[in-house]
A = this chain, B = another copy of it.
Amino acid sequence: MGYRFSDLTAACQDDWRAHIEHDFVRGLAEGTLEEGAFRHYLKQDYLFLIHFARAYALAAYKSRTLDDLRQAHEGLKAIVDLELGLHVGYCRDWGISEADLAELPEARATMAYTRYVLDTGNRGDLLDLHVALAPCLVGYGEIADWINARPGTVRGDANPFEAWIAMYESEEFQAARRAEEAWLDARLKDVTPARFAELTQVFRDATRLEIDFWQMGLDRAD
């Protein structure tokens, strides 16, 4: 007993590093990612966000305490009232119109990760759902850290993906990430080894599906 979130990443270290340090992420850090790959990713990330809103809604439905309900609602509200709008604006900067977004076919990698998260939430409890979401919320925060710690990273106007990096290193995003880690730490400390093994499998699966999501961008896969 006495697990923490960092035990999950330690338990599937290879997959976790493959997510954080994916070639797509390196391309973002160095400003060398092909723009077509980024556009493909951006479009799918819009659909991804909508299903993540559904995941926070599911978390609100499953909540047993008012605190958990409020926290889940904050996640949903952030997406619906803020992030979807920012994403639409950001897509516009990259030449993707709102009409393009509305008619977008959903890529397999988008379906795979989002539906895995949602089924995991319905099958298990609120902790399963949070663990399935963690490679995204906590992972993107760690990716921003990793990008900033790398010698090869290019920041500022020289990097076309500067705004993307800035978003995930922002204090607002990092605060949400820390809150999520704290929530997970508080619950993981009481789980049994058998339960931790179940959660590790969820976390590993979700991390592998995040890796596929980056790869889909590189491959412009549909």
**Quick one: which of A49-77 are within 8 Å of B by CB?**
50, 53-54, 57-64, 66, 69-70, 72-73, 76-77
- A115 an interface residue at 8 Å Cβ cutoff? yes
Bound: A128/B208 CA distance, A: 28
Bound: A211/B82 CA distance, A: 36
| Copies of this chain, whole number | 4
Interface size in chain A (residues, C-beta < 8 A): 44
Residues of B within 8 A of A34 (CB): none
Bound: A58/B60 CA distance, A: 8
Contact with B along A66-109 (1 / 0, CB 8 A): 10011011001100110010000000000000000000001010
Closest to A198 in B: B64
Known contacts A76-B60, A205-B111, A208-B108; A122/B122 CB under 8 A:
yes
Residues of B within 8 A of A192 (CB): 190
B70 adjacent to A123 (CB under 8 Å): no
- A194 an interface residue at 8 Å Cβ cutoff? yes
22 contacts between A and B (CB under 8 A): A50-B66, A54-B69, A57-B58, A57-B61, A57-B69, A58-B61, A60-B60, A61-B122, A61-B123, A62-B124, A64-B124, A66-B84, A70-B80, A73-B76, A76-B76, A106-B205, A108-B112, A108-B209, A111-B112, A118-B119, A119-B119, A190-B192
Q: Which residues of A line the B interface, CB within 8 A?
A: 50, 53-54, 57-64, 66, 69-70, 72-73, 76-77, 80-81, 84, 106, 108, 111-112, 114-116, 118-119, 122-125, 128, 190, 192, 194-195, 198, 205, 208-209, 212
